[in-house]
Chains A and B, each alone.
Chain A
Amino acid sequence: MSEILVQTLVSGLLIGLIYALVAIGLTMIFGVMDIINFSHGEFLMFGMYSSFWMFSLYALDPMFTLPLTALFLFGLGVVVYKLVISKITNAPMVSQIFTTFGLMLLFRGIAQFLWKPDFRTIEKSMVSGHFSLAGIQVGTPQLTAGVGAILVTVGVYLFITKTRLGAALEATAADKEAARLMGIDSQKMFALAWGIGAACAGVAGGLLSTFFPIFPDVGANFILIAFVVVNLGGFGSIVGALVAGILVGVIEVMGGFLLGPQYKLAIVLVLFLAVLMFRPQGLMGKA
């Protein structure tokens, strides 16, 4: 019994780390410019396809192509910001919601157009297979993905807290006007936030691609969870997203184990609402 419990905890932790990585991109965009990005799951989807095509066309393993995927998605994030988002920075909330919602549909449509709605998988990447450790079965791709998510998360955290650019980003998030008076170009910071946000989602997609099916609507599986993680952690908080991501992953897997997998998402959402009622600013958010 306890073995099953530990097994469940480990699976929850590993998927939770991925959730955290997806949510960090989302929370960053929100924190810096107060916009909820409904198309965030589609950045993840593009990250998966990027991994898939480099693997199937050039036999490059997803583990090696992660930096390229990050670079592609960073570019995509910046382009999306420049072409669309920069025009709605001061628009009413409903316009912002529908702009990013439209982007979500657009990206899904483009993926369907380019690659058809089929399910694709990456078979026999260098991290396939599984091993057992002290009686606990661990999938190698899942473990790699978890470790990769931790590394990227720590990297983003260090970038924000230790570099000048990161400090500028945080200053913009805290107070746009004050940051502008200090000579920080908020337009550049917004673009940077979108770039990093998209790159995080893309890397999460790349890490997932070795064990998760790849299809145009795959983002739908992650966007709601990512919202929950961002909300639970506190909008704009990176540490909050990490903690909440792990929490959500563990609760989801445990809940699925105890009540049946069909209620996994419902349990997470109920918990999310409960926390929202008592602490609307999230676990680590400022009131």
Chain B
Amino acid sequence: MSNNAVVSQPAEPPQSLPRKTAGTGYALMLALLVIAVFVPQFVDSPSHQNIAILILMAAQMGVAWNIVGGYAGQVSLGQAAFYGIGAYTSTLLFAQFGLNPWLAMIAGGGVAALISIVIGWSCFRLKGHYFAMATIAVAEIIQIVFTNWEFAGGAVGLTIPMDQQGWDVFVFASKVPYYYIALGLLVLTLLANLMIERSYFGYYFRAIKDEPDAARSLGVNLRKYKLIAFAVSSFFTALGGSFYAQKELYIDPASVLGTGLSIKMALVSILGGIGTLSGPVLGAGILTLIDEGTRALFGGTGRGTDLIIYAALIIVVAVYYPNGVIGWFKSWMARRQAVQSQVARGEHQ
């Protein structure tokens, strides 16, 4: 494990570079955001609007996962538990008790954050593989509980009534409001990420990830900061789950608590670039388009062709581009700069 961390280091570009690429990254993100605001103006087809929403949702999940998995380096493979807790809490509060769904959504985030602290309290004693396995087990237990919990609809699930619509009840017939809410959620999650990256939390998280022993010897309370990362990540993951419930108007354990969902959250980050701000957003775009594209092209023929292509892509990325699209871009920039400076020196002589 420790030598793995060392091996991953040389792929990083020289120190002077990140600032420049980070600047380009922010500019790119801002440009993307401006484009994103106008997307529904150009995309009329509800099915295309839906794909745009799916990308935003995947990006939001990935950005939320990245807080604990990317920045703090704690590979949780059970974040679907919090997605589901968010979805169930808000749906129960809204559909059964008539609480305003916006408040119910925040309540869902709060419940998930609290539960994540309870879970993290014990699981953060474990490292590496053991932690990853434990989070899978916890998520699986929560899925079994919900599947057998009559009050929460059991295996059948819960439905959100559609009799009222509008911004006050967070139920819409059109895709466009959902699109803007998903975009808003993503921006909110990105801002939280940005604040963490800029504040001392970010330094502590990275210290936990890269040099846990050194951080401990400097008096950093590792468990406290791991718990903070876990709780913040779980809060935003739960908001994503509540949004899913409002958009689909129906949830069941398989759709909001499945292990595949946990994996997807992490995958989005890894594909784009783990531990970076824009990585999960890029990863979400690429993964969702490939996922939907292969399904549209090959899904009709059945027989798992879409699954094969999707899986092959995951393997290729994991094997050849472990630092994701962003990592690939950074090393490409670094190479280009090195060549340019060589050329410059050559001309000077």
Instruction: Please tell me if B51 contacts chain A, counting CB pairs below 8 Å.
Output: no
Contact residue among B133, B263, B302, B306 (Cβ-Cβ distance under 8 Å from A227): B133
Cα(A93)–Cα(B129), bound, Å: 8
Choose, from A68-76, A97-105, A132-140, A239-247, the stretch at the interface: A97-105
Stretch of B26-34, B134-142, B189-197, B332-340 lying at the A interface: B134-142
- Smallest distance from the beta carbon of A28 to chain B beta carbons, Å? 15
Does B144 lie within 8 Å of A266, measured CB to CB? yes
Q: Is there a chain A Cβ closer than 8 Å to B266's Cβ?
A: yes
Within 8 A of B (CB), among A73-99: 84, 87-88, 90-99
CB pair B303 A116 closer than 8 Å: yes
Least CB distance from A83 to B in Å reads: 10
- Using Cβ atoms and an 8 Å threshold, which residues of chain A touch B317? 98
Give the residue name and chain of the B residue nearest to A278 (CB): B125
- The verdict on A277 contacting B122 (CB below 8 Å), with A91-B7, A109-B305 known, is yes
What per-residue 1/0 map shows which CB atoms of A262-278 lie under 8 Å from chain B? 11011001101100110
Q: Within 8 Å CB of A117, what residues of B?
A: 304
Q: Do A228 and B137 touch across chains, with their CB atoms under 8 A apart?
A: yes
- In the complex, A270 Cα to B122 Cα: how many Å? 13
| A98 surroundings in chain B (CB, below 8 A) | 266-267, 270, 314-315, 317-318
| Residues of chain A with a CB closer than 8 A to B315's CB | 84, 98-99, 102-103, 106
The reply to whether the CB of A256 lies closer than 8 angstroms to some CB of chain B is no
Question: Within 8 Å CB of A216, what residues of B?
Answer: 304
Across the interface, do A92 and B128 meet the contact criterion of CB distance under 8 Å? no
Question: Taking CB as reference atom, which chain A residue is nearest B154?
Answer: A262
Instruction: Give the contacting residue for B319; candidates A36, A88, A97; CB below 8 A.
Output: A88
Q: By the criterion CB–CB under 8 Å, are A90 and B7 in contact? A: yes
Q: How far, in whole Å, are A277 and B133 apart by their CA atoms in the complex?
A: 12
Chain A neighbourhood of B3, CB < 8 A: 90
Is A235 located at the chain interface by the 8 A CB criterion? yes
Q: Are A265 and B75 in contact (CB under 8 A)?
A: no
Q: Does A166 contact B (CB under 8 A)?
A: no
Contact A265 B140 (CB under 8 A): yes
A158, CB-defined interface residue at 8 Å: no
Minimum CB–CB distance for A14 against chain B, Å: 24
Cβ contacts A244-264/B at 8 Å (1 or 0 each): 000000000000000000110
Partner of B137, one of A92, A106, A263, A273: A273
From B137, B270, B311, A95 is in contact (CB under 8 Å) with B270
- Judged by a CB distance under 8 angstroms, whether B102 is at the interface is no
Contacts of B136 in A (CB 8 A): 224, 227
Q: For A103, list chain B residues within 8 Å (CB).
A: 311, 315
Q: In chain A, what residue has the closest Cβ to B312?
A: A106
Which residue of B7, B133, B319 contacts A99 across the interface (Cβ within 8 Å)? B319
Contacts of B270 in A (CB 8 A): 94-95, 98
Q: Does A58 contact B (CB under 8 A)?
A: no
In the assembled complex, how far is the CB of residue B1 from the closest CB belonging to chain A, in whole angstroms?
7
Check if B4 is an interface residue, CB within 8 A of chain A: yes
A residues with a Cβ closer than 8 A to B are 30, 34, 36, 84, 87-88, 90-99, 101-106, 108-113, 116-117, 216, 224, 227-228, 231, 235, 262-263, 265-266, 269-270, 272-273, 276-277, 280
Is A88 a contact partner of B318 (Cβ separation < 8 A)? Answer: yes
Q: 19 additional contacts, CB 8 Å, given A112-B304, A269-B137?
A: A90-B7, A91-B318, A92-B8, A93-B4, A93-B132, A94-B270, A95-B319, A98-B266, A98-B270, A109-B305, A113-B303, A113-B304, A228-B137, A265-B140, A266-B141, A269-B138, A273-B137, A273-B138, A276-B126
Question: Nearest Cβ in chain B — how far from A247, in angstroms?
Answer: 16
B308:A109 contact, CB within 8 angstroms: yes
Tell me, in angstroms, the Cα distance from A91 to B4 when the chains sit together. Answer: 6
| Bound-state Cα–Cα, A2 to B270, Å | 53
Secondary structure of the B contact surface, majority rule? helix
The residue from B130, B132, B263, B305 contacting A113, defined by CB atoms under 8 A apart: B305
Whether the Cβ atoms of B307 and A108 lie closer than 8 Å is: yes
Cα(A38)–Cα(B3), bound, Å: 22
A residues near B144, Cβ cutoff 8 Å: 262-263, 265-266, 269
Residues of the A chain whose Cβ atoms lie less than 8 Å from the Cβ of B313: 102
With A110-B304, A112-B303 in contact, is A280–B126 under 8 Å at CB?
yes
A-B pairs with beta carbons under 8 Å apart, 27 shown: A36-B129, A87-B320, A88-B318, A88-B322, A91-B319, A93-B4, A93-B128, A93-B129, A94-B69, A94-B270, A94-B274, A98-B314, A99-B314, A99-B318, A102-B311, A105-B314, A106-B307, A106-B311, A106-B312, A106-B315, A112-B302, A227-B133, A228-B137, A262-B148, A269-B137, A273-B134, A276-B133
Q: A24 CB to closest chain B CB, in angstroms?
A: 17
B147 touches A90 (CB 8 A): no
Min C-beta distance of B227 to chain A, whole Å: 16
B263 touches A101 (CB 8 A): yes
**In this assembly, does B328 line the interface, its C-beta being within 8 Å of a C-beta of chain A?**
no
CA distance A116 to B270 in the complex (A): 31
Chain A residues whose C-beta falls within 8 Å of the C-beta of B128 in the assembled complex: 93
CB neighbours (8 Å) of A263 from chain B are 144, 148
How long is the Cα–Cα vector from A93 to B132 in the complex, in angstroms?
A: 10
Contact B147 A231 (CB under 8 A): no
Most B C-beta atoms less than 10 A away, residue of A87, A110, A266? A266
Which residue from chain A places its CB closest to the CB of B308 in the assembled complex?
A: A109
B4 touches A90 (CB 8 A): yes
A116–B303 alpha-carbon span in the complex (Å):
6
